[in-house]
């Protein structure tokens, strides 16, 4: 599956007193990767919300391998696990500037019809966009 690579610099406020990134920030880094992955296809959360679709995270998994530290330049590699249905699944790899693998992870997000507040299928325009890129 096609992937996106996004760079993020670790900010001081994301670390503990030892300069190590607090574990919950990995979810934020994955969100940045996911947002940029969507943007690469001309899509955005705000655009989907304007069309009446929300994408809440319903599952998050992180496997920590090494510590990210203050001022590291991180690379988030984001890929789509499979074609979306009523959910969309992403996989992540997080590396530092020395290409050391820091973490792997995955998320599952559900497509929600905002008007009905109920699950719905992946919008056709998103599926069409993905098919155009031979995913």
* Residues designated as active site: 16
Q: Which residues pair with 103 in a beta bridge?
A: 64, 94
H/E run at residue 5? strand 3-9
Strands (E), 10-129: 53-54, 57-64, 73-80, 87-95, 101-110, 112-113, 118-119
Integer Cα distance of 109 and 90 in angstroms: 9
Half-sphere exposure of 129 (CA within 13 A, CB side): 14
| Helices vs. strands in the chain: H and E counts, helices first | 3, 8
Integer Cα distance of 57 and 127 in angstroms: 19
């Amino acid at each position: 599956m096609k992937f996106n690579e996004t760079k993020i610099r670790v900010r001081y406020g994301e670390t503990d007193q030892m300069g190590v990134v607090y574990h919950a920030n990995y979810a934020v880094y994955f969100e940045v990767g996911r947002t940029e992955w969507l943007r690469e296809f001309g899509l955005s959360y705000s655009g989907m919300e304007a069309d009446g679709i929300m994408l809440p995270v319903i599952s998050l998994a992180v496997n920590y391998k090494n510590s990210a530290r203050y001022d590291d330049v991180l690379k988030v590699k984001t890929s789509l696990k499979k074609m979306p249905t009523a959910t969309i699944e992403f996989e992540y790899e997080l590396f530092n500037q020395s290409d050391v693998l820091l973490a792997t992870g995955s998320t599952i997000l559900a497509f929600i019809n905002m008007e009905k507040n109920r699950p719905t299928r992946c919008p056709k325009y998103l599926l069409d966009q993905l098919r155009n890129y031979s995913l």
